[in-house]
Amino acid sequence: MFNVLRMHMYRVSRSVSTYVLAGLMILFLFLSFGLAFLIFEDPLSIGLADAFKDVYGGGTVSPSVMHRFFIQSNDAVIILLTIFGVLLTHSDFSKGFAKNTYTMFERKSKFVLAKWGALVSCVTVTYVTLTALGLGLSALLRSFEPVGWDEYLKGWIVVYLCLVSMLTLVFMITSLFKSPVGGMVIGLVLATGVFQTLESLLDLLIAKLSGADMDAALSGMMGIDTGEKIFRISDYCLDNVYLSYKSSMGTADTVRTIVVALVYMALALGLTMLLSEKKDVRV
């Protein structure tokens, strides 16, 4: 199975699109750096930093804030990783190459697992590279203060798990429908937060129907913690937990985010493996 993973890594390394996407990723990282420079250094004295006080708290910026800025809140990262994930998952089917290899194992789920392994390996390499570049660029900012590494590490792991989980959803949709369209749509929807609006509306509806405090429900929708315990479906939606996660969150919220990411990942991968045994390979 490891050989199949290596085969996927080999073909990815030989694909032009990999380098185009990597180039775009780095370009967007530098654009983000430009934006960070305008916000936190304020060379034009336009006071943009004030608008972002809620995000970074004002004053100096920590590695956690920059990680959120460069990777977690950067739509381009999810979109480009989605495109990459779809290409990796789909191209050996669309080119017909998959049919050369399916006599390797009796169980098709082994192919699924190997390909998912390749995807996770690529996402990990990208994530580590982006992290290193992000930290390197952050160090160029005068307002950057390298403190709070424990919080940074916690956030780094949580964001990584969420990213892998989202890419596993993209992997599932692309694998099962043998089409790049579904995976792309899922990736875009996750990146742009379209579902977040729907999830918030559902939260309000549930609050209304259950007779919960509507003020608290609305505050929760705005991301303000009133201390009131209200069931929110969005707390269990992967896109929402990813986009709303902050490394400064308490243990309960961090654990919930990790559990949601792991459950989605396990379900998506498990379902893909299970259905692959019953489905024909269309090449």
Nearer CB in complex with other proteins: 229/278: 278
Task: Indicate the DSSP class of residue 46.
Answer: -
Cα–Cα distance, 252 to 190 (Å, whole number): 23
Interface residue with other proteins, options 97, 149, 177, 231 (CB under 8 A): 97
| 221 counts as binding other proteins under rule CB under 8 A | no
> Which one, 16 or 209, has the nearer CB to other proteins?
16
Q: How far is the CB of 134 from other proteins (least distance, A)?
A: 31
Binds other proteins by CB under 8 A, chosen from 105, 149, 177, 231:
105
For position 54 contacting other proteins by CB under 8 A, the verdict is no
Q: Where are the alpha helices (DSSP H) in the chain?
A: 2-13, 16-36, 48-51, 53-56, 63-67, 75-94, 109-138, 149-177, 180-192, 194-209, 214-221, 238-244, 251-278
Hey, what are 143's tokens? 């307002």
Neighbours of 27 (CB within 10 A): 12
Find the part of the chain contacting other proteins (CB under 8 A) among 2-10, 33-41, 170-178, 204-212.
2-10
Nearest distance from residue 105's CB to other proteins, in Å? 7
Using the 8-state DSSP alphabet, how is residue 279 labeled? S
Structure tokens at 38: 């305008």
Tell me phi and psi for residue 275, to 5 degrees: -70, -25
Cα within 13 Å of Cα(45), Cβ side = 0
Query: Looking at 61, 65, 86, 98, which residue binds other proteins (CB under 8 A)?
Result: 98
Restricted to residues 62-91, the positions that interact with other proteins (CB under 8 A) are 91
Q: Kindly state whether residue 271 participates in binding other proteins, applying the rule CB under 8 A.
A: no
The residues with which 144 forms a beta bridge, in sequence order, are 61
Task: Please state the closest distance from residue 11 (CB atom) to other proteins, in A.
Answer: 5
Q: Residues 199, 211: contact at Cβ < 8 Å?
A: no
Site string for other proteins, 6-45 (x = CB under 8 A): xx--xx--xxx-----------------------------
Give 93 or 245: the residue with its C-beta nearer to other proteins: 93
Other C-beta atoms closer than 10 Å to the C-beta of 56 total 20
Q: Which is nearer to other proteins, 228 or 277 (CB)?
A: 277
Q: Which residues of this chain interact with other proteins, rule CB under 8 A? A: 3-4, 6-7, 10-11, 14-16, 91, 95-106, 108, 277-281, 283
